[in-house]
Chain A
Amino acid sequence: MIPLSWYLILAAALFSVGLFGVLARKNAIAILLGIELMLNAVNINLVAFWRYGSLASIAGQVFAIIVFAVAAAEVAVGLGLVISIYRRRNTVVADELDLMKW
């Protein structure tokens, strides 16, 4: 049997890798890829807590499904913004999008 700690450590590592991607990547789409990794880490935790906690309440799985919906909404709007910016500015490098700097 797998102890809960394994899942939690894996999720923490995945979350950190995703965080690194979000902070270090230049390309806006790559940043969104990092966010997907972080959301997946959260989902692993939610489902693991459901399985190792009380099985009677299905809340962990419901939360995970809500996270799916949020991830889909985030990707739809985020990528929509990226494409819209690309059309206007011809770039997807997040650092160059400095119109609102001041």
Chain B
Amino acid sequence: MQSEWLYIGLFLLVGIFIPVAAIVISALLGPKKPNPIKQSTYECGMETVGVNWVQFKAPYYIFALIFLIFDVETVFLFPWAIALNQSQPGVLGVFVAVEGVIFILILLAGLVYAWRKGALEWM
């Protein structure tokens, strides 16, 4: 696996180099005439009112939270999905599938709870 990671590491370097080069070339060639109006925050021509870091609705956070739990769940499911095909056919194989099904059903119960609690609504 290490040569695969070496390739991806080199790919990362090249992938960072290309956009950096683009920005540097553009910075060298482009004009630089800053003035306060040009650099002010863009709000369709209106003067900016108040601070720019406004506070957010809580639902954004709730959705990110539910996502976090489900994301971790999928991490567990990937090894299970691979183990499915490695297991023996027959009753034992179905048993392996059932283990995962139980896992998913428990998580679905969480989703149902969040749904009933109204956490999936955009308040």
The answer to whether A and B touch in the complex, with CB atoms under 8 Å apart, is yes
Chain A residues engaging chain B, CB cutoff 8 angstroms: 65, 68-69, 72-73, 75-76, 79-80, 83
Residues of B contacting A76 in the complex (Cβ-Cβ under 8 angstroms): 65, 68-69
A69 near B58: Cβ-Cβ < 8 Å: no
Residues of B contacting A72 in the complex (Cβ-Cβ under 8 angstroms): 68-69, 71-72
**Interchain Cβ contacts within 8 Å, total number:** 21
Consensus secondary structure, chain B interface: helix
B72 near A69: Cβ-Cβ < 8 Å: yes
B113 interface residue (CB < 8 Å to A): no
Give the docked Cα–Cα distance between A79 and B62 (Å): 11
B122 interface residue (CB < 8 Å to A): no
A-B residue pairs in contact (CB < 8 Å), sample of 17: A65-B75, A65-B76, A68-B72, A68-B75, A69-B75, A69-B76, A72-B68, A72-B71, A72-B72, A73-B69, A75-B68, A76-B69, A79-B61, A79-B65, A80-B65, A83-B58, A83-B61
Proximity string of chain B (50-69) to chain A, C-beta cutoff 8 Å, 1 when within and 0 when not: 00000000100100010011
In this complex, which of B58, B65, B76 has the most chain A Cβ atoms within 10 angstroms of its Cβ?
B65
Give the docked Cα–Cα distance between A76 and B71 (Å): 12
Chain B residues engaging chain A, CB cutoff 8 angstroms: 58, 61, 65, 68-69, 71-72, 75-76
Give the docked Cα–Cα distance between A75 and B72 (Å): 12
Q: Which residue of B lies closest to A75 (CB)?
A: B68
Give the docked Cα–Cα distance between A75 and B64 (Å): 11
Q: How far is the CB of A61 from chain B (nearest CB, A)?
A: 9
Residues of A contacting B71 in the complex (Cβ-Cβ under 8 angstroms): 72
A76-B68, A76-B69 known; 18 new pairs, CB 8 Å cut-off, are A65-B75, A65-B76, A68-B72, A68-B75, A69-B72, A69-B75, A69-B76, A72-B68, A72-B69, A72-B71, A72-B72, A73-B69, A75-B68, A76-B65, A79-B65, A80-B65, A83-B58, A83-B61
